[in-house]
């Protein structure tokens, strides 16, 4: 991938503009999904460059695409990644909502376990000592999932949202590529 000044280029070579998009998607051109390979390639390089990089997408097209295709491709790519960013934001909200519900349930369970433990006889019996410790451990295990959600699960979603948001505004450039130079002629 080429670097130009402070802008970092993600470069992609395709035979024609249609190869960039999912062939099974019946949507109009500006609303089409990117082909899975193209999406993975673009997102992978965007992640590789990092969140602070100013990105540009340069697409080399073997079959002439023309200026009209350039504007449509730019709009389609921006729409696609804006939609992905929106889906990721909704997923983040869903995870946080589930985390709140899980936290309420976990705290209720922990409180119940500690409340029951408070009424068990202390000292003496090994059975009551075992039961007391088991209730404490079970209560804290009940908090495992909500704590995991709030400590760890949301980070990947925020990173993905940041990448998609950046790609929804990325500079897109279509470059006509000579068939002989691409190795597909002869």
Taking only the tens place, the pLDDT of each residue in 146-167 is 999 999 999 999 999 999 999 9
Strand partners, 124: none
List of residues 6+ apart from 122 with CB closer than 8 A:
128, 132
Q: 71 with 22: CB under 8 angstroms? A: no
Q: How much is the average pLDDT of 3-27?
A: 78
- Of 58-67, 68-77, 79-88, 173-182, the poorest mean pLDDT is in 173-182
* Burial environment of residue 88 by CB neighbours within 10 A (0 to 12, 13 to 18, 19 or more): buried
Q: Would the pLDDT of 5 be above 90?
A: no
CA 39 to CA 122: how far, in whole Å?
61
- Of 70-74, 89-93, 157-161, the poorest mean pLDDT is in 70-74
Q: How much is the average pLDDT of 172-176?
A: 86
Q: Would the pLDDT of 31 be above 90?
A: no
Say which residue, 70 or 44, is predicted with more confidence. 44
Helix and strand element counts for the chain (H, E): 6, 4
H or E element in which residue 60 lies: strand 54-61
Please report the pLDDT score of residue 96 as a whole number: 94
Query: What residues make up the domain containing 143?
Result: 3-182
CA 59 to CA 92: how far, in whole Å?
31
CA 58 to CA 173: how far, in whole Å?
5
Q: Would the pLDDT of 185 be above 50?
A: no
- Please state, in angstroms and as integers, the Cα–Cα distance from residue 182 to each residue in 58, 69, 166, following that order: 15, 20, 29
Please report the pLDDT score of residue 22 as a whole number: 78
Number of domains forming the structure of the chain: 1
Indicate whether this model's pTM tops 0.85.
no
- Compute how many other C-beta atoms are within 10 angstroms of the C-beta atom of residue 186: 5
CA 142 to CA 107: how far, in whole Å?
8
Q: How much is the average pLDDT of 35-62?
A: 90
Say which residue, 64 or 18, is predicted with more confidence. 18
* Burial environment of residue 17 by CB neighbours within 10 A (0 to 12, 13 to 18, 19 or more): buried
């Amino acid at each position: 991938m080429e670097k130009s000044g402070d802008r970092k280029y993600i470069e992609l070579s395709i035979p024609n503009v249609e190869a960039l998009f999912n062939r099974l998607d019946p949507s109009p051109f500006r609303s089409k999904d990117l082909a899975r390979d193209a999406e993975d390639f673009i997102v992978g390089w965007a992640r590789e460059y990092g969140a602070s990089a100013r990105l540009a997408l340069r697409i080399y097209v073997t079959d002439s695409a023309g200026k009209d295709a350039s504007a449509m491709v730019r709009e389609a790519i921006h729409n696609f990644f804006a939609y992905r960013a929106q889906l990721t934001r909704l997923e983040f909200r869903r995870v946080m909502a589930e985390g709140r519900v899980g936290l309420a349930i976990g705290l209720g369970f922990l409180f119940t376990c500690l409340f029951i433990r408070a009424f068990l006889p202390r000292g003496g019996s090994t059975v009551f000592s075992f039961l007391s410790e088991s209730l404490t451990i079970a209560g804290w295990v009940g908090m495992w999932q909500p704590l995991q959600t709030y400590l760890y699960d949301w980070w990947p979603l925020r990173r993905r949202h940041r990448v998609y948001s950046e790609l929804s505004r990325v500079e897109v450039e279509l470059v006509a590529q000579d068939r002989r130079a691409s190795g597909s002629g002869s």
